Each structure stands twice: as structure tokens, then as C-alpha cells.
Amino acid sequence: MIKLLAIGDVMGRPGRQALVKGLDRAREELNPDFVVMNGENVAGGFGITKKIFEELIGPVGIDCITTGNHWMDKKDIYEFRDHPKIVLPANMSNVDEPTRGLRLLETKGGVRVAVMNLIGKVFMKGDNSSPFDMAERMLDLVPSYCKVRVLDIHAEATSEKQALGQFLAGRVSAVYGTHSHVPTADERIFKEYTGFVTDLGMTGPYDSVIGIDATSAIRRMRTGDKKNFEPAKNDLNFYAMLFEINEQTGACHALHRLRFPIKDS
Ligand SMILES: [Fe+2]
Ligand SMILES: [Fe+2]
């Protein structure tokens, strides 16, 4: 059995602080074999820089970073988007390539892990192609010996994320949602195989509007003014899901929602 830790959207510098502290605790208490996180908001709330990417896969020890609609907000992503530890939403209109949304990696113990990333169509900007069809195309590329398969579906609509979880039931070990920055309490296992949750929730400042300073978010909604539209700082929390997966069959046997409030915030 391997333990795969999936961490939701990490929001800016406060999110990175919560990530480091929460990960220390998770490693101490749970000893995960593989850690995947969503990094689309990790640089000031919008995108990911090369410097932060290298820090995350280096000293912080993240095994793979998925992304979302903000993947291209920092332009240096074009220098490292082919790196084996970063995944883009394969069906997003400005990606549209199954190999960019799929990475074949392994745990320190040598267990193969396929990480996949898709984006929703419902209530999402852009003319993204079907995540269902792209999921099929990506699964065709995963070798049969790679049983542990995990998918980050980055989407707004709860219905679309659940539909994708049901669609992939029995074929993917873990399907979880990101993007809403709001954790859901509906974790379950489909067909005694696929561990699922509609949204992991954000790792970052919860005294906010989905991670953004509340005063600025309210002002923007009322007037359109984007002034100080940046990550909030207080009430840091680390949110993640721990999936226990049988590496012989790929079946998820248990999943545990983690919420670690970060002190000194
Ligand atoms: Fe996000
Ligand atoms: Fe997003």
C-alpha cells in the first residue's frame, strides 16, 4: 500500500508558508510516499515562476505539481513546462496536448505513479475541449504496468467534477477537484476503486475571499477596480487528502481529509 498526499491550490507566499509547515506535520504523522500539489496560484496568486518551481521540487520535496487556468500567468513557465515534474491541464484550449497533461513518475520506493491534469468546461473561460475525451486519450498513454493513477480535475462546477469521477471509476486510483479553493466534505470511493473528492480546498489564507484579500475582492466585485488584488495573509490552513492505494491493483482503499490550521498566522 502506498500513501499519496494531494494538496490543493497553494495560494501565494502565505500559502507556501502553510505548505511547508503543513507538509512537515504530514510527513511526521503520516509519512506519505508521494506528494502532489496544485501550483497554479503559488506565485503571488497567479501562476508559477521558475524560482518557486525549483524550490518546491527541491528543498520542499514536492514530487509533482499540477496546474490550472492560471498556468501561463508567469511567462517563465514556457522555459520549464516540459519538466517531468510539472503538469498542465491537457484539454485547456492553450495546451490541447495529452502528453503535457500526463507525467509518469515513481515513488522513492520505486512504485510507478501516473499524474494527470484536466480542466473543466462548465463555467470556465475559454473554449476548452472535453475533459472526458481527453481523459480517455491520456489513459491510452499510461502503460498497463503503471497501476497508481491520479487525476487533478481543475474545474468550477461540482457536477462536472463528480461526473468525471464517476466516468473514471475503476480506472483511476484518485480523482480530486481543485480550482474552487473551497474544500468539500464528500470524500468517498467509487466502485471500490476510485478515491474521490469534489474539491481539496486551498492551502493558504482563509480570512479572505478564496485566498484574495477580502476588502480588495469586495471592491473589485462592486466596482471592477483591481487595486491590491493580491493574496490575504491571515488564518493560514493546510488542506490536503491522503489516499491509501494498493500499488498492485491501483485501487484506493481509504482516503483521509487533512486540515492543519497553521499557528502564528
Ligand atoms: Fe486556484
Ligand atoms: Fe483555477
Domains defined for the chain, CATH in brackets: 2-261 (3.60.21.10)
This prediction has a pTM of 0.97
| Nearest listed ligand to the Cα of residue 212 | 1
Please name the residues in contact with 68: beta carbons below 8 A apart, sequence gap of 6 or more.
Answer: 9, 38, 40, 89, 117, 119, 154, 178, 179
Residue 139 burial (10 A CB sphere; 0-12, 13-18, 19+): middle
Q: For a pLDDT cut of 70, what percent of the chain falls above it?
A: 100
CB–CB of 175/166 below 8 Å? no
Residue 209 has a pLDDT of 97
Residue 45 has a pLDDT of 96
- Mean pLDDT, the chain, rounded, equals 97
Find the 144 Cα to ligand 1 centroid distance in Å: 32
Find the 61 Cα to ligand 1 centroid distance in Å: 21
| Nearest listed ligand to the Cα of residue 155 | 2
Q: Band the pLDDT of 227: cuts 50, 70, 90.
A: confident
Find the 154 Cα to ligand 2 centroid distance in Å: 6
Handedness of CA 169, 35, 246, 88 (dihedral sign): positive
Residue 8 has a pLDDT of 95
Q: Band the pLDDT of 263: cuts 50, 70, 90.
A: confident
Find the 192 Cα to ligand 2 centroid distance in Å: 29
Tell me which amino acid residue 207 is.
D
| Nearest listed ligand to the Cα of residue 211 | 1
| Nearest listed ligand to the Cα of residue 71 | 2
Residue 21 has a pLDDT of 98
Residue 84 has a pLDDT of 98
Query: What is the tens place of the pLDDT at every residue in 127-182?
Result: 999 999 999 999 999 999 999 999 999 999 999 999 999 999 999 999 999 999 99
| Residue 63 to residue 49: CA distance in whole angstroms | 17
Find the 181 Cα to ligand 1 centroid distance in Å: 6
DSSP conformation class of 98: G
Tell me which amino acid residue 118 is.
L
Q: Band the pLDDT of 228: cuts 50, 70, 90.
A: confident
Find the 9 Cα to ligand 1 centroid distance in Å: 5
Residues with CB under 5 A from ligand 1 (ion): 9, 41
| Residue 261 to residue 70: CA distance in whole angstroms | 26
Find the 85 Cα to ligand 2 centroid distance in Å: 19
Q: Give the Å distances, CA to CA, from 264 to 18, 27, 235, 237.
A: 10, 20, 9, 11
Q: Is the pLDDT of residue 10 over 70?
A: yes
Query: What is the tens place of the pLDDT at every residue in 83-105?
Result: 999 999 999 999 999 999 999 99
| Residue 200 to residue 240: CA distance in whole angstroms | 6
Residue 122 burial (10 A CB sphere; 0-12, 13-18, 19+): middle
Find the 145 Cα to ligand 2 centroid distance in Å: 32
Q: Is 70 a catalytic residue?
A: yes
| Nearest listed ligand to the Cα of residue 156 | 2
| Residue 194 to residue 197: CA distance in whole angstroms | 10
